[in-house]
Chain A
Amino acid sequence: DQQVKQNSPSLSVQEGRISILNCDYTNSMFDYFLWYKKYPAEGPTFLISISSIKDKNEDGRFTVFLNKSAKHLSLHIVPSQPGDSAVYFCAASPSSGTYKYIFGTGTRLKVLA
């Protein structure tokens, strides 16, 4: 049972344009959401996070939006740069009872110069 889903395995975007990566979840107990970026032969690195008390969090070129009623979050990258080409994972965790994280399957972003 995949509790966190990233339905787009890949995405190509022109440099300078907006990249939108989507993530859906099924467990209503999830209250914390994080996005990670992964380059080949490296471990994932943290990008941005959001808790369920917010619907938006912004950090430079990266903005995460959370729609709790739809159990959907998205990561916007504006403007996209070739160095953003990587695999992006969303991860979720409930607010209590565990410090366990559930990751999605990832979306490979390619930013074309």
Chain B
Amino acid sequence: DTGVSQDPRHKITKRGQNVTFRCDPISEHNRLYWYRQTLGQGPEFLTYFQNEAQLEKSRLLSDRFSAERPKGSFSTLEIQRTEQGDSAMYLCASIPLGGGQIYEQYFGPGTRLTVT
């Protein structure tokens, strides 16, 4: 297993366009997280899934953002009608089955989004 992968690694889009990112967690990791990171800031929680259920979503996440994990394996994050303020690194992380709060998250390399 090569770890958490994210695709694409970089995305440049024009304002108003829709974008979709994919995250493939480590096999059998049942909990999956999405974060957004901007320059000079730490990862900011967006949402997380336990298997296919989306259990929590940040209040900062507008209606333009939606995430899915239909079969409890890979996940997608879609941003509709992108705005320049959406430019950021989008990180995905996963935790193994049975992992509690103290368990480490395994992060992917991120998708860097630039909205022009």
Q: 1/0 per residue B29-43: CB within 8 Å of A? A: 001010100001111
Chain-B contact segment, one of A11-19, A39-47, A68-76, A77-85: A39-47
- Tell me if B28 counts as interface (CB < 8 A to partner A): no
- Name the A residues within 8 Å of B109 (CB-CB): 41-43
Q: 1/0 per residue B85-102: CB within 8 Å of A? A: 000000101010000111
Q: 1/0 per residue A35-72: CB within 8 Å of B? A: 01000011111100101000000000000000000000
A93 near B43 with CB under 8 A, answer no
How far is B105's CA from A101's CA once the two chains are assembled, in angstroms?
10
How far is B105's CA from A100's CA once the two chains are assembled, in angstroms?
11
**CB nearest neighbor in A for B108:** A43
Would you give the shortest CB distance from A113 to chain B, in whole angstroms?
26
- Name the B residues within 8 Å of A105 (CB-CB): 40-42
**CB nearest neighbor in A for B41:** A105
A100 near B45 with CB under 8 A, answer yes
Residue among A36, A94, A99 with max Cβ neighbours from chain B (10 Å)? A99
Contact flag A89-B43 (CB < 8 Å), given A46-B104, A99-B48: yes
A95 near B40 with CB under 8 A, answer no
- Name the B residues within 8 Å of A102 (CB-CB): 45
**CB nearest neighbor in B for A46:** B104
- Tell me if B110 counts as interface (CB < 8 A to partner A): yes
B48 near A103 with CB under 8 A, answer no
How far is B91's CA from A49's CA once the two chains are assembled, in angstroms?
20
How far is B42's CA from A105's CA once the two chains are assembled, in angstroms?
4
Which 5 A/B pairs are nearest by Cβ-Cβ distance? A43-B107, A46-B104, A103-B42, A32-B101, A93-B101
